[in-house]
Every structure is written in C-alpha cells, then in structure tokens.
C-alpha cells in the first residue's frame, strides 16, 4: 500500500533541508559572535541572537530550542568578556538587553507551542466525540434500514394469512405474498451482512482485483433504482487499468454510497436532466473513480464539511455516509474529494492504489 | 360520491408499499400506493372518504413536513404515520399535529387496520358534515333578502308584530315571508329553523 521509495526520497529531502538550515544558522551565529566581540561595547549585535532563536523555532523541538537559546546567552556573555574596547557600563546594559531579548523570545515560543498543543488535544477530543456520535447515527440508521424489510415481512405474512382464509382461498395472491416474504428476508440479511462488514474493527483485508469489475458489480446492484427513476448512466471505464490492491468489499461500499448519493441528489433536482457520469482512469499513479451527477450541486461553503461525521445537507440524512466513505478510502490508502461542477451538479472522486508492479523495496 | 373508503399509502420503500397494498386488498380495502408525496399530489384525491398512510422518513420531503403542509394544500385526510425508526418526540409531534396513529415498523397489522378504519370513518363524518353545511348554505342563499331579514329576526325570538315594526313592513308581509322561509328551509317548526340556522356560519345571520 505504501510506496517505500517515494517515502524515502521525501524523508531524505527533508533531512537535507534541515541540515542546510542548521549550517546557515551556525554561520549566522558565528558571524554575530565575531562582530559582537570585535566591535565596541556600544554595538549590541548580540540582540540578533533573538532572531536566530525565532528563526530556528519552527524546525527544532522544545529541548533543542532551550539548548540553543542557552548557547546564545553563553555566547553573548563570552563576547562581552572578550570585548576590549568601549564603555563598560554601556556594554553591561547592552549585554543585559541581549540576554533578556533571547530569553523572552524563547519563552514566547515555548508558550505558543504549549497553546498549539492544547488546541491540538482539544481537536483530537472533538474528533473522538464525533466518532461516538456517528456511531449513534449508525445504529439509528441500521434500525431504520432493517425495520423496513421486517415491516414488509410481517405485513405480507398477515396478508398471506388473509388470502388463505378467504373462501375459497386465493392461492395465487398467497403465493405472491410468500414470494415477497422470502425476498424481504433476503434483503434483511443482506443489510446485516453489510453492517457487519462495515463495523468490523479489523484492518481491511486487501486483495488484488479488477477495479472496473468491482464498479460494474455495484452498478448491477443499483441498476433497478437507476432505471426506475429514468436516470441515464454514462460509463467511461478505462480499459487498461492496472489491478488495484485494496479491500474489495469496502471499496464497493464506497462506490455504492457515492452512487446512491448521486441518485438522491438527482431526484431532488429537475426531472429533465437525469444523468450520472462514472469514469475510471489512472491519475498520478493511482486508480481513480469519478462520479458526476446532474443534481443541484454543492452549495458554497459546504464542500469543506462534506466528509465530516454527522454533517449533512439531507433533511433526513445522518451525515455518516460520506464520513464512513472517507474512512474506508483512507484506510485503503486512497483519497476522496468533492467538487461542484460549474454547469450544475457535483463530482465526487476517490483513488485506490494500484498493485505495485515491481518490488522496489 | 362512492361510500367505500380508499387508502392512500405513501412510502419510499417499494416492498413495504407492496406488502401494505396486498394486506389492505386482502381485507377488501381499496388502496392506492405512491413512492413520494410528489407522486401523491400529482395523482390527486378521489371523491371518496379516505385515509392517508404516511411514512415519516423519505428522501425529499419528510412525512411530518408533508402533514404540516396538508391543510395549506386543501387536503383534510386523516393521517396514520408509519416509521422505520421513531422516537417519542417525533410521535408526540405527529399526534399534536392531529395524526390519528403513529406506528413504528414492523407494526401490528390489526392496529394498523383499526387505525385505517377509524381514519376512514372520521373522514366520512367530516365529508357528511361538509355536504350538510353546503346544502344548508344553498337553502339559505335561496331566500330573498327580505326573507333573510325576517328569518334572522324570527330566530332571535321576535313576534310578527315586532318584526313588522323593525322592518317597516305590514304584518301580512311578515307572515307571507315567514311561510316562505319555512318552506324554502324545509322545516316545519320554529325550533327546527333555529337549529338549522345555528349550523350556518354566524356572519350569514347578522
């Protein structure tokens, strides 16, 4: 799933940058020391050590930063001792100002850092709460989903009894009712299976499979829904896609969810232009599926929230479909995004990693 | 107007719809099913006492919202709610809005059938009342202005002589008009007339 050579290259690049910065900083510090020592007491070049501390702060951790600022203070004091010319009391005052400036810069950075840390903790907490909330939504959703076929089963069962009790019994209608019962029972058990695979905590069980085939399967399941609402489905599946490496069931859940969203979006819009456009292709080394609908699109300002748990534009939505989709896509090493289309409608795209052709490890 | 009831079912779930249709057919109730409120509105109402079985959670417009809008749309059908997931506030809200029943799926069929019969009965009463008051208004409209004046004063309990004085007409004229009122309103006694005019809206009597 990961691409080791790529990750290594980025890591090396980052380390190189760090070294270049450190060397530059050391050079600046040496220059400051020389200027401060060589000039009169009145020239307070040491104040600029505060700038060194500020510049270095973003790429150093707390401990190293404290050491750096201690070093700067030590250099300031040392150059004061080594300086030979000028007014001694001015030199003392300048040294004091420099030391205070360095210490204050350090203190402010540490303070800001602590605040940022606190904000991060709070955010993590919120994310956890959102997860629990979305679980609540999930159970509600499951209850609703499963009660639909159950209601149909119970009602059909009673109807069947009535047809049999007629005199003479209406066997045809009774048989039809029984057929519906069997069908709805199958539907209920499919929902249970879907929910179980969704809530299973274990990591995705990745396999290598044909992406287009998986897409076609989902379309097959939804074709009745698409036909019933008179929606035109335009398919543009790239024929030469590499096989992908992901959890097939999870990826199909994502496709199904996006397709269902597209259908719902279209139904809420005008009836004349009901088109869903699905395309698969290779983008940036990843296999990508895009689903474009001719619905009302994504209102401005909404796009950033779309994938958040418990956030929805649907009146009766739970706001968990897209959030779960994102979790699933990311668990499989891909990314998901949404975009409004200028001519109307919305487009959702997600990526799945292709199988690694040669082992580059 | 046919007197047999008709049940309208609005539920986005196809199999629930099919099952309900079959259940109601098996007990001899006429039923029409719709996948959305839009479909239902496009079809319109039949001229028969009816009852609406409404799913709460549907894509597009929810059942609760539709129920709230019904009066504005001129639909006075009694409503039985069914829902796959209902909580207490939702049920309270629905009943407060005037629904006759709030059932969670899977529901007890007898409860549903009873609620539907109850709803059809209510609608039948309501329609009879409407028809009766329409008939009454027609009779009242058939009276001439002078006869209406007499009728109003008669109902207030004035004697012929007093009415004649108020309207500045002869007592004979009052008597003639009074007889006409009794005939046109199709009543024989004064108490009958009072009872009928009470059912008319108050502003037609002032």
Distance from CA of A128 to the nearest CA of B (A): 25
Is A143 within 8 Å of chain B by CB? yes
Q: Is residue A124 helix, strand or coil?
A: helix
The residues, any chain, with a CB within 8 Å of residue A345's CB and separated by 6 or more, are A265, A292, A293, A294, A295, A296, A297
In this structure, chain A runs to a length of 361
pLDDT at A8: 61
Is A133 within 8 Å of chain B by CB? no
Question: Which residue in the set A140, A163, A315 is minimally distant from B85, CB to CB?
Answer: A140
CA angle B17, B20, B25 (to 5 degrees): 125
Q: How confident is the model at residue B123 (pLDDT cuts 50, 70, 90)?
A: very high
Are the C-beta atoms of residues A251 and A214 closer than 8 Å to each other?
Answer: yes
- Out of A188-202, B45-59, B101-115, B184-198, which region has the weakest mean confidence (pLDDT)? A188-202
Taken in order of first residue, the domains within chain B and their CATH numbers are 6-131 (3.40.50.2300), 143-200 (1.10.10.10)
A162 contacts B84? CB cut-off 8 A: no
Is B85 within 8 Å of chain A by CB? yes
Distance from CA of B37 to the nearest CA of A (A): 13
Instruction: Please state the separation of Cα A139 from the chain's center in Å.
Output: 23
Residue A2 has pLDDT above 50, yes or no: no
Within 8 A of A312 by CB-CB distance, chain B residues are: none
Are the C-beta atoms of residues A273 and A229 closer than 8 Å to each other?
Answer: no
* pLDDT tens digit sequence for A151-206: 999 999 999 999 999 989 999 999 999 999 999 998 888 888 776 666 555 566 78
Is B60 within 8 Å of chain A by CB? yes
Within 8 A of B58 by CB-CB distance, chain A residues are: 316
Are the C-beta atoms of residues A301 and A260 closer than 8 Å to each other?
Answer: no
Largest CA distance in chain B: 74
* pTM for the structure as a whole: 0.49
Examine the predicted complex and report whether its ipTM is higher than 0.95: no
Distance from CA of A229 to the nearest CA of B (A): 11
- Burial pattern A165-202, b for ≥16 Cβ within 10 A else e, equals eeeeebeebbebbeebbebbeebbeeeeeebeeeeeee
On average, the pLDDT of chain A sits at: 80
Which site among A186, A225, A316 would you substitute to test the B interface, given the most B Cβ atoms closer than 10 Å to its Cβ?
Answer: A316
Is B27 within 8 Å of chain A by CB? yes
Residue A126 has pLDDT above 70, yes or no: no
Rounding to the nearest 10 degrees, give the CA dihedral for residues B91, B93, B98, B102: -10
pLDDT at A135: 61
Residue B20 has pLDDT above 90, yes or no: yes
* pLDDT tens digit sequence for B155-188: 888 899 999 999 899 989 999 999 999 999 888 8
Query: Which tokens go with A259?
Result: 């397709």
* pLDDT tens digit sequence for A273-327: 788 999 999 998 899 999 998 887 777 666 666 676 545 555 545 455 677 788 8
Is B20 within 8 Å of chain A by CB? yes
Distance from CA of A158 to the nearest CA of B (A): 7
Residue A361 has pLDDT above 50, yes or no: no
List the helix and strand counts (H, then E) for chain A: 8, 7
- Out of A326-330, A346-350, B136-140, which region has the weakest mean confidence (pLDDT)? A326-330
* pLDDT tens digit sequence for A17-56: 888 888 888 898 888 888 888 887 777 778 888 888 888 8
């Amino acid at each position: 799933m990961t691409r080791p050579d790529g990750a290594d290259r980025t890591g090396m690049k980052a380390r190189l940058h760090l070294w270049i910065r450190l060397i530059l900083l050391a050079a600046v510090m040496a220059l400051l020391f020389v200027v401060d020592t060589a000039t009169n007491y009145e020239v307070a070049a040491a104040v600029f050590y505060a700038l060194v501390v500020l510049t270095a702060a973003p790429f150093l951790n707390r401990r190293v930063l404290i050491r750096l600022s201690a070093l700067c203070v030590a250099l300031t004091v040392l150059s004061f001792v080594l300086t030979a010319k000028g007014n001694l009391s001015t030199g003392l005052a300048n040294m004091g100002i420099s030391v205070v400036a360095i210490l204050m810069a350090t203190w402010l950075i540490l303070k800001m850092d602590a605040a940022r840390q606190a904000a991060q903790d709070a955010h993590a907490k919120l994310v956890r709460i959102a997860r629990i909330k979305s679980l609540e939504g999930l159970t509600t959703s499951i209850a609703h989903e499963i009660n639909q076929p159950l209601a149909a089963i119970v009602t059909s069962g009673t109807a069947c009894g009535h047809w049999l009790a007629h005199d003479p019994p209406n066997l045809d209608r009774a048989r039809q009712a029984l057929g519906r019962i069997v069908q709805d029972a199958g539907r209920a058990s499919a929902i249970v299976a879907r929910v179980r695979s969704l809530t299973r905590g274990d990591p995705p069980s990745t396999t290598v499979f044909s992406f287009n085939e998986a897409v076609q399967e989902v379309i097959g399941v939804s074709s009745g829904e698409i036909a019933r609402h008179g929606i035109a489905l335009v398919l543009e599946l790239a024929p030469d896609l590499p096989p992908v490496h992901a959890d097939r069931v999870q990826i199909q859940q994502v496709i199904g969810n996006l397709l269902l969203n597209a259908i719902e979006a279209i139904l809420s819009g005008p009836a004349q232009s009901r088109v869903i456009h699905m395309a698969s292709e290779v983008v940036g080394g990843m296999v990508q599926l895009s689903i474009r609908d001719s619905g009302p699109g994504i209102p401005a300002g909404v796009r950033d929230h779309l994938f958040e748990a418990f956030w929805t534009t649907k009146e009766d939505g739970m706001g968990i479909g897209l959030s779960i989709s994102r979790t699933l896509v990311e668990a499989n090493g891909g990314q998901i995004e949404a975009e409004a289309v200028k001519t109307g409608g919305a487009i959702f795209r997600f990526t799945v990693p292709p199988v690694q052709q040669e082992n580059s490890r | 107007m046919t007197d047999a009831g008709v049940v309208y079912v609005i539920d986005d779930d196809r199999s629930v719809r099919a099952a309900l249709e079959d259940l109601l057919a098996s007990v001899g109730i006429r039923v029409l099913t719709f996948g959305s409120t839009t479909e239902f509105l496009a079809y319109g109402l039949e001229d028969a006492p009816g009852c609406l079985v409404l799913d709460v959670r549907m894509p597009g417009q929810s059942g609760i919202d539709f129920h709230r809008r019904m009066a504005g749309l001129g639909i006075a059908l009694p409503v039985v709610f069914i829902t796959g997931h209902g909580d207490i506030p939702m049920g309270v809200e629905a009943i407060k809005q005037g629904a006759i029943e709030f059932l969670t799926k899977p529901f007890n069929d007898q409860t549903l059938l009873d609620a539907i019969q109850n709803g059809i009965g209510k609608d039948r009463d309501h329609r009879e009342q409407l028809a009766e008051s329409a008939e009454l208004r027609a009779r009242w409209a058939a009276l001439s202005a002078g006869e209406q004046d007499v009728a109003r004063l008669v109902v207030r309990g004035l004697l012929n002589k007093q009415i004649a004085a108020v309207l500045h007409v002869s007592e004979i004229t009052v008597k003639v008009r009074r007889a006409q009122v009794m005939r046109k309103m199709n009543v024989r006694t004064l108490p009958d007339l009072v009872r009928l005019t009470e059912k008319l809206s108050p502003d037609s009597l002032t």
